[in-house]
A and B are shown apart, each in its own frame.
Chain A
Amino acid sequence: MAANFWTSSHCKRLLEQEEISVVSNDDRDRGLTQEDVKIIKIYFSSYIKKLAQRAKVRQRVVATAIAYFRRVYTRKSFSEYDPRLVAPTCLYLASKAEESTVQAKLLIFYMKQIGSDENGFRYDIKDILEMEMKLLEALDYYLVIYHPYRPLVQLLRDAGLSDMIEMCWSIVNDSYGTDLILMHPPYMIALACIYISCVINERDNRLWFEESRVDMTVIKNIAMQIFDFYDNYRLGFEDRIGAILLKLSQKS
């Protein structure tokens, strides 16, 4: 699988940190800080996860939806496209693109179940369908996303660490709380997750990492970003999201 990643649109469209973390002028006018933007992305990544759990879709669909969400906002501002609509629409689009369609009306139903109205989760089917078209355009119609899950399984087998699969898998899940999927090849993220789990479990696997001839500074860098997520952003931000979304809804 790794072989075809190199020729994929996903690979050609990998971005640098600076390209991702700019706050658009529109959003800055409304008083959004870089920290706010980070929180919005984390909040809605976990929102997509929650919605997906209700809809009972595969992990892959969730991961693709979050990648779409994050990619859309490298080109669009939060003021322009309301994340409360973009998040469920990303899940809708991802479910279709990953061949396990969730009906739009069901999605609306689940949104009502988990969302609170005061936060403005008041969208309907036609809004989702309209947004779907806009998202396709914002994604420039590139829909194929590669994820670290498959390389993870292969790498663990190769390293003789298959017993760590569960822990690594959940670290990969958590890596979607960051923009890593837009920045690094999936197998690098998988390696970083293995690295983290080796550190936590105090397993010395330096030799295998050396043999795999990957750039350990990049791996450590990825691992640091995941650690940063664990240290500072793991909580859902339920308390802070309201105030941030309020900023968005105000005219500058």
Chain B
Amino acid sequence: MLELKNGIGAKRYVKGISLGEGTYGVVFKALDTQTNRTVAVKKIRLGKYKEGVHVTALREIKLLKELRDPNIIELIDVYPHKRNLHLVFEFMESDLEAVIRDRNILLSPADVKSYMQMCLRGLAHCHKKWVLHRDLKPNNLLISSDGQLKLGDFGLARIFGSPDRKFTHQVFARWYRSPELLFGSKQYGSGVDIWAAGCIFAELLLRRPFLQGSSDIDQLGKIFQAFGTPRETQWPDMTSLPDYVEFQFTPAPALRSLFPMATEDALDLLSKMFAFDPKARITAQQALEHRYFSTDPAPTKAHLLLRPASKAEGMRPPPELASPKEPVVLSPPAKARRISLFPGVAGAEHIHHSKESKDGSSAATVGETPSDHSGMAITDRSYLKRKLDMDVHFEDERHV
């Protein structure tokens, strides 16, 4: 029965271009012949040290098989091929980091609300199933072609709920780490994801990462600068955390001063997501029921949200590529001639087209039609590269 359903394995997918190299394998675009959907196939390299299927991959498989939600990336299929495991995901066009960074996109309060609602819905589903994501950050919030935001990258996720199990506190990119993690807590819960979601909320409002600490201590410093140093009454368990250190007392500035443009409701929700005591922090479900989501303006419908420009499609060419006055010559004319596909065509005219012919020849050598290289390819690649780079060094922060 398994054979009938999934057994065709590799044959079900027509492999397309490579989208990038990750920590545990290559990702390529593919067409699912059964559904005619575009998918992303992650090929899992076997571990170097004779340890079989990578634990990160196993975690992702195990949890995503249990999670089904419009706001969580869908693991469509898994199959072995030539001794490698392949994970088939729905293809995601972009991510929230690209949206936040794209200066051509104006994020209205309704847009921010829409993104937060989708993020919290995905999170609420995870938490209902006792799964902690543990690596929320804008570039793990993927965006599909119909504008839906979906939680992706469950390589650090865990099942929680047994009170005696100790977890590592080395999770999340630092800027999204909650104070209890920074103080070395090993028995944390869903509050860590909420804190990170709060950071993302703030980032949507500010259009830059909110608390950019350069070390764990600096991160705590930045947090206390923003919200004041917590008092015992605010967070009774704080002083018993493993890495607790006392900070000089700083009073909290008015939250309004940090987010001058936000509505009262937005500020109220934000402050509840940033509650110091994880026990007092709002849950994903409570956050969704917060009046912020029921008052004006209504969240923008997903398919109406602006997508980041894909440069290759030339919709909004960035200034440096916008001027068509000069032809873009990537290699010296002599070299361009050498690799030319059309030796008969010579001289100045050819040089003007050197970029095109270079593209053409490289496409020819790998046996693909040049059209395969147009469109999504470049954006896909840069998006994935950013994403995959983070896989390894989730500790090391991104380059701003």
Query: Of B34-42, B155-163, B327-335, which binds chain A?
Result: B155-163
Residues from chain A with a CB closer than 8 A to the CB of B85 are 133, 136
Could you tell me if A104 and B53 are in contact, using CB atoms closer than 8 angstroms? no
Interface residue B2 (Cβ < 8 Å from any Cβ of A): yes
Mark each residue of chain A from 121 to 157: 1 if its CB lies under 8 Å from any CB of chain B, else 0: 0000110111011001110111110000010000000
Report if A103-B62 is in contact (Cβ < 8 Å); known contacts: A129-B46, A133-B85, A144-B159: no
**Which residues in window 152-209 of A have CB below 8 A to B?**
none
CB-nearest residue of chain A to B162:
A150
Interface size class of B (residues with CB under 8 A): 20 to 34
When distances are taken between beta carbons in the complex, the residues of chain B under 8 Å from A103 are: 51
Flag B143-176 by CB within 8 Å of A: 1 or 0 each.
0000000000000001101100000000000000
Bound form: Cα–Cα A38–B169 in Å: 44
Question: Chain B residues with Cβ under 8 A from A143's Cβ?
Answer: 58, 61-62, 65
Q: Does A240 contact B (CB under 8 A)?
A: no
B371-383 toward A: CB 8 Å interface, digit per residue (1/0)? 0000000000000
Are A144 and B65 within 8 A (Cβ)? yes
In the complex, A8→B159 CA distance in Å? 12
Give the contacting residue for B58; candidates A1, A8, A96; CB below 8 A: A96
Q: Which residues of B contact A15 (CB under 8 A)?
A: none
Q: Chain A at the B interface: mostly helix, strand, loop or mixed?
A: helix
Report if A140-B130 is in contact (Cβ < 8 Å); known contacts: A1-B161, A96-B53: no
Identify which of A9, A75, A104, A136 contacts B51 (C-beta below 8 A).
A104
CB pair A144–B62 under 8 Å, yes or no, is: yes
Residue in A closest to B85 when the chains form the complex, CB atoms:
A133
Let me know if B58 and A105 touch, CB within 8 A. no
Residues from chain B with Cβ under 8 Å of A125 in the complex: 50
Smallest CB separation, A64 vs chain B (Å): 11
With contact pairs A1-B161, A141-B78, A144-B66 given, residues A132 and B53 touching in the complex (Cβ less than 8 Å): yes
Q: Bin the interface of chain A by size.
A: 20 to 34
**Is A24 part of the binding interface, using a Cβ–Cβ cutoff of 8 Å?**
no
Interface mask (B76-118 → A, CB under 8 Å = 1, otherwise 0)? 0011100101000000000000000000000000000000000
Contacts A1-B130, A133-B85; A105 near B50 (Cβ below 8 A):
yes
A136 touching B65 by the CB < 8 A rule? no
Q: Tell me if A232 counts as interface (CB < 8 A to partner B).
A: no
B130 contacts across to A, CB distance below 8 A: 1, 4
Is A97 a contact partner of B58 (Cβ separation < 8 A)?
yes
Does A217 belong to the interface (CB within 8 Å)? no
Query: Is B258 an interface position by the 8 A CB rule?
Result: no
> Does residue A113 face the partner (Cβ distance < 8 Å to B)?
no
* Interface: A101 (CB within 8 A): yes
Considering only CB atoms, which chain B residue lies closest to A76 in the complex? B2
A136 and B50 within 8 A (CB): no
* Interface 0/1 of B205-236, CB less than 8 Å to A: 00000000000000000000000000000000
B280, CB-defined interface residue at 8 Å: no
How distant is A145 from chain B, measured CB to nearest CB, in Å?
A: 10
User: What string of 1s and 0s marks CB contacts (under 8 Å) between A32-64 and chain B?
Assistant: 000000000000000000000000000000000
Does the CB pair B129–A7 fall under 8 Å?
yes
Given A8-B66, A136-B85: A75 and B55 interface contact (C-beta under 8 Å) = no
**Nearest-neighbor residue (CB-CB) of A58 within chain B:** B165
Kindly provide the distance from the CB of A100 to the nearest chain B CB, expressed in whole angstroms. 10
Say whether B62 contacts A97, CB under 8 Å. yes
Pick the contact of A128: B46, B52, B80, B161 (CB < 8 A): B52
Q: How far is the CA of A141 from the CA of B64 in the complex (A)?
A: 10
How near does chain B come to A23, taking the closest CB pair, in angstroms?
A: 18
Query: Which of A4, A97, A105, A137 has a CB less than 8 Å from the CB of B80?
Result: A137
Q: How far is the CB of B74 from chain A (nearest CB, A)?
A: 14
Complex interface: chain A residues within 8 A of B62 (CB) = 97, 141, 143-144
**CB-defined contacts of B161 to chain A, threshold 8 Å:** 1
Tell me if B128 is interfacial: C-beta within 8 Å of chain A. Answer: yes
Tell yes or no: A69 within 8 A of B by CB.
Answer: no
- The answer to whether the Cβ of A73 comes within 8 Å of any Cβ in the partner chain is no
Query: Distance in Å from the Cβ of B77 to the closest Cβ of chain A?
Result: 9
Q: How far is the CB of A203 from chain B (nearest CB, A)?
A: 28
**Which residues of chain B are within 8 angstroms of A101 by Cβ–Cβ distance?**
51, 55
Interface membership of A99, Cβ < 8 A: yes
Within the complex, the shortest CB–CB distance from A242 to chain B, in Å, comes to: 30
Q: For B158, list chain A residues within 8 Å (CB).
A: 99
Q: B48-71 CB contact bits vs A (8 Å, 1 = yes)?
A: 001111010010011101100000
Instruction: Give CA–CA (A137, B53) in the complex, Å.
Output: 12
For the complex, is A92 an interface residue (Cβ under 8 Å from B)? yes
CB pair B61–A141 under 8 Å, yes or no, is yes
**Residues of the B chain whose Cβ atoms lie less than 8 Å from the Cβ of A136:** 53, 61, 78, 80, 85
Q: Are A142 and B65 in contact (CB under 8 A)?
A: yes
Residue of B nearest to A149 (CB): B162
Question: For B66, what are the chain A residues with a Cβ–Cβ distance below 8 Å?
Answer: 8-9, 144
Least distance between B52 CB and chain A CB atoms (Å):
4
- With a cutoff of 8 Å between Cβ atoms, the chain A residues found around residue B78 in the complex are 136, 141
Q: From residue A77, how far is it (CB to closest CB) to chain B in Å? A: 14
Q: A223–B58 Cα gap in the complex (Å)?
A: 35
18 example contacts (A-B, Cβ-Cβ < 8 A) are as follows: A4-B128, A8-B66, A9-B65, A92-B52, A96-B53, A96-B55, A97-B58, A103-B51, A125-B50, A126-B50, A133-B83, A133-B85, A136-B78, A136-B85, A140-B6, A142-B65, A144-B63, A144-B66
Q: Which residues of B contact A (CB under 8 A)?
A: 1-2, 6, 46, 50-53, 55, 58, 61-63, 65-66, 78-80, 83, 85, 128-130, 158-159, 161-162
8 smallest A-B Cβ distances: which pairs? Answer: A143-B62, A129-B52, A132-B52, A141-B78, A133-B80, A4-B129, A141-B61, A96-B58
